[in-house]
Structure 1
Amino acid sequence: MQKYTIILAIILFTCFTITILINVIRGNRNIDCGCGGILGDQQISWKIIIRNLLFVCALSFLSAVDISYSSVDSLILGNEETFDSYSFLVIFLAISTLFIFSTYTNLLKIKNKLLEFK
């Protein structure tokens, strides 16, 4: 089941990337990417195309390897260890840090937009 999910994600990212690529080549860069949700106002660019291609490469790698691994450490080291609490804590803290940083940068953008209206 995970293989099908990864393959579907590869197909979707490829379609999104091709669509963005067509518009960037045509010069239609005033299109909102939609990447940041409601608060995001990022325009399509070559940076987004490269990011999506990196996602496609990572997903392709995941579809090629045995995905019975339960942690990133066991995937890198080649061990089939169980998913321990330390690995969960590291992944949770990394994801939390990314969300906090993203929220902080979005709040700064909102603050700057509100200051422009004064």
Structure 2
Amino acid sequence: MEKIMMVLQFLTAYLFLSTAFHKLFHYRQHQQHAENYEVLPRIFIPAFVMLSTLAELTLSLSLLFSVFIREALAAALMLLLAYSYAVLINLIRGRKDLSCGCGGLAGNKVITYKTIWRNLIFILLILLQIGSASLALNAGNEYGSDYFILLVFSGITLASGYVFLKFNTILKELN
């Protein structure tokens, strides 16, 4: 099982490393993709694009060198959840002509519900890795694994996605 988790860890690292490099080399295009989603106010787009790209690069290097594995996987989980919400919001709005803006191994295809399913598979694989890493680190610990913390963060992310959706709707109504 340990070898399977290591393979998944390196595949996750390679996925995020490839997307990070693609976004760095095509920075303006990636910024335009993020802007096209119309999820964040335009003033936040440059900071979000730079921080999320640096987060992808950092977490992939962390996974490649096997340092701060759980933290890197948690960051990968949060990024995938955020990206998935942005895609889902636009699909619900009927905006199916947008590029996913993923780059790298994930490509730059037009968003569909298959994009959500693909991300869900990645999310489940990351959760499996987090669970495995937590169990390995907490063996013999009476407090168990960190699943509770992971669930809290996932819940906060879900709630944040909902708030952003509502906030964006209210802003559009005001304009």
Match of 1:54 in 2: 62
The CA deviation string for residues 17-73 of structure 1, in whole angstroms up to 9 with x for no partner, is: 1233133123232346xxxxxxx88756223222332333347979xxxx8x94423
| TM-score normalised per structure 2 | 0.41
8 Å Cα contact 2:21-2:57 kept in structure 1: yes
Match of 1:9 in 2: 9
SS of residue in 1 equivalent to 2:138: helix
1:101 aligned to 2:156?
A: yes
Cα offset for 1:7?
1.7
Structure (1/2) with the larger helix percentage: 2
Q: Which has the higher contact order (CA 8 A, sep 6+)?
A: 2
User: What secondary structure sits across from 1:45 in the alignment?
Assistant: helix
TM-score, normalised with respect to structure 1: 0.55
CA distance in structure 2 between the partners assigned to 1:112 and 1:48 by the alignment: 26
Cα RMSD over matched residues?
A: 3.5
Aligned partners of 2:138 and 2:67: how far apart in 1?
17
Distance 2:161 2:53 in 1: 19
Counterpart contact for 2:9–2:63, Cα < 8 Å:
no
Q: Which amino acid aligns with 2:24?
A: V
Counterpart of 1:46, as a letter, is L
Unaligned runs of 5+ in 2: 41-47, 71-131
Q: Distance in 2 between matches of 1:12 and 1:71?
A: 19
Structure number, greater radius of gyration: 1
Structure 2: distance between partners of 1:19 and 1:11: 12
Unaligned runs of 5+ in 1: 33-39, 75-80
What is aligned with 1:72? 137
Number of equivalent positions: 96
